[in-house]
Amino acid sequence: MAKAESKELAAAFDEGQSKPGAEGKATSPSVEVRRIDITPESAPLNDGLELELEYEVEGHLIDASWEIKFMVDSAHKRHIVLLGTTDAEPLVSGLGSFYFMVPQIDVTDVKPGTLTNCGLLTASLTSDGMPVLDVNMVVVVTQEACGLVRTIYSPLDS
């Protein structure tokens, strides 16, 4: 191992950014999602939503933030609607949570026929600009008498 690599690895260990693996190499901090609350789970597609995640971090994440987006695919294109991003903050070992609210979901640029495909609501965790974890929640959109209605399923539900 080169001296520069050794110094960087030692600094990372000192700062709690990573932990030694079985072979003495740095491993990424781990994040385990403990609870997901989606409110409302079923609502008109354009209505707002609230999302709360509880998680446990093993390690230390620098400038960690969550990006929330709605994605749906058509035959020729993936449509991604960015709903928002949380402020960046350090995450240390232990339990944590984040709360996100958006007053409405603007899907005016996506054809209604495309929206009735299954989609994903994704909460993506990054640390210092690097991907850490994607939490994917399946979104089923159906045409009802009142218009398009979404139902969001938590991956933690069986």
Structure confidence by residue, pLDDT tens digits, 42-57: 999 999 999 999 999 9
Q: Where are the alpha helices (DSSP H) in the chain?
A: 3-15, 112-115
What pLDDT score does 27 carry?
A: 56
pLDDT score recorded for residue 76: 85
Q: Which amino acid is at 88?
A: A
Does 12 have pLDDT greater than 80? no
Residues 1-14, mean pLDDT to the nearest whole number: 37
Report how far residue 52's alpha carbon sits from residue 41's, in angstroms, rounded to the nearest whole number: 12
Asked if pLDDT for residue 26 goes beyond 70, the answer is no
Residues 6+ apart with CB under 8 A from 61: 17, 29, 31, 90, 91, 125, 127, 128, 132
Convert the pLDDT of each residue in 94-145 to its tens digit.
999 999 999 999 999 888 888 888 999 999 999 999 999 999 999 999 999 9
* Residue predicted with more confidence, 121 or 158: 121
Q: What's the Rg (C-alpha) of the chain? A: 19
| Averaged confidence pLDDT in the chain | 84
pLDDT of 152: 97
The confidence score (pLDDT) of residue 18 equals 42
